[in-house]
Structure 1
Amino acid sequence: MPTSESNRPKVVLIVDDIPDNLSLLHDALDEAGYTVLVATDGAAALTRAGRQQPDVILLDALMPGMDGFEVARRLKADFATAHIPIVFMTGLTETEHVVAAFEAGGIDYVTKPIRPQEVIVRIAAHMQGARQVSLARSALDASGQATIAIRMDTGALVWQTPKARQLLAEFAPPDGDKAPADLLQWITTSALARTGNQTVLPFSLVVADRRLVFNLNEQTADGEWLVSLREESDRASIDALIPAFGLTQREAEVLYWVTKGKTNRDIGDILGLSPRTVHKHLEHVFAKQGVETRTAAATLAINTLKAGGD
């Protein structure tokens, strides 16, 4: 039976080059019921985080070789690990170092010498939020929706569903983890319009006869904007009709052109079929939709396509 999000083991990755620190935190977290992973350098931390997807990372700021700030930047630049909360551990409390920790992607920090109970309390708070986000993102992934999350202060695409990644690659391949500049400008303008109770118009990218439409959803507690994507084109509409009514590819094509007001002869010319063959396909469509007329079939299809685009 699959493990649910609520009873999945709580995993913490500790990254520190000092064995005594690792031992102190490992024992405290283990006693508190966490599954503990350890890494003693930046390279090992990146590998373990990518493979085992911890819920929270405790990261030493100053390590030989790759320091914690660089490790954090690399974790946040990788879609597979960008969502993981990072809590820095540092003996440096000067403002410049605290700022550096947050700029590198940290969500919090604790100072050395480490006080295990303080660390446990902070981890518990961040883990609860992280799990709620993870559950929501998993639901979007499973539903096949196209959604992205953008961090406006950096312009970074911090997360995207598989469907969104596919669409962006086809319409506007991102520059690394950066969102397209015109998309960022639209979010800024739309956010301002929303605060003034003004209408927020969608943003579109057009490639040939295909159009990718972006709609602004909401801003998360972390300040990231969620944006939904949908493709509008003949092909996308036809593909949407297939699972909606259990149609074959050809039946969906015939039904789509019926929604456009085309006659059987028109449809035959478009698809390279005889009017009689088009009529046969329509009979099958009517049966699968549970309707008896061309108008009813078209209305049902139009309403289905409209609902899918909302």
Structure 2
Amino acid sequence: MRFTYECCDCHSVYETNEVFYQCPKCAKDNDGKSFPKGNVIVKLNSEDLKALGSKEHVSMFDFFPYPVPTSEVYPVGGTPLAKPLRLGKKYGLANLSCKLDSALPSGSFKDRASQLIAAQAIAHKQNKIALASTGNAGAAMSCAGAAYGLEIILFVPATAPVNKLMQSVLYGATVVPVKGSYDDAFALSIAYTKKFGGINRNTAYNPMTIEGKKSISIELFEQLGRSVPDVVYVPVGDGCIYAGVYKGFYDLKQAGLIEKIPHIVCAQSKQSNAISRAWKTGDFSN
């Protein structure tokens, strides 16, 4: 599908066939200490989207900017919906469903983003993908790398628990411990890509991660008889899963397949509540 990039800050639109991460006008002001500027979103071609509105059935692949080759080697998607009747009865929710993305190949929702990053790398004839992670994202990308024969370089804080990294090691990734925080590992992974090439998978930095994560919304639309829920609760860390879920429903609406986007609720742990704190205080610097 044809697409362009739009800056979330200045709204400049970029049309390019090259790998594109951030708006160069806005990103040049980033100092690494405050909320990054210049992140971009993928805007799918409106004519291509409207053409999907006449299809009897759609899949996540119809909405992807890059084609996914031999998807059966890394079968992402098609996860079941559970109907927790007892939980629904307890809270008075007659139509409660839970999407079981633990059934994905690496056991994590992060497989959705990693599938599209692998497709991006293959489309650009790149064999190397770098990223920073403390666990699930690294495992998912390493799983995709093993499936497609891609080299994965994973930068992790040296304090990351070994048991969270073992899955990536078993999949064959090169794991690089970094003295410092996750932010330090993130910065080093970007520097690595700039110097040695390849694709950078870091969530939000590479807009294709959001495009991969939106696949869950496309699936829900079909699983629920070509309709969408009234409310969707999304577990959130830095907000990128939330953005992906929203983007999927947004694209469905742009295609004319749904009339409104569901109410999406961001749910955070008290131990990791950066978005909740920023929302309450108005301070987005941390």
Q: State the TM-score, normalizing by the size of structure 2.
A: 0.25
**Larger proportion of helix:** 1
> Higher Cα Rg: structure 1 or 2?
1
Higher relative contact order (CA 8 A, sep 6+): 2
TM-score (norm 1): 0.24
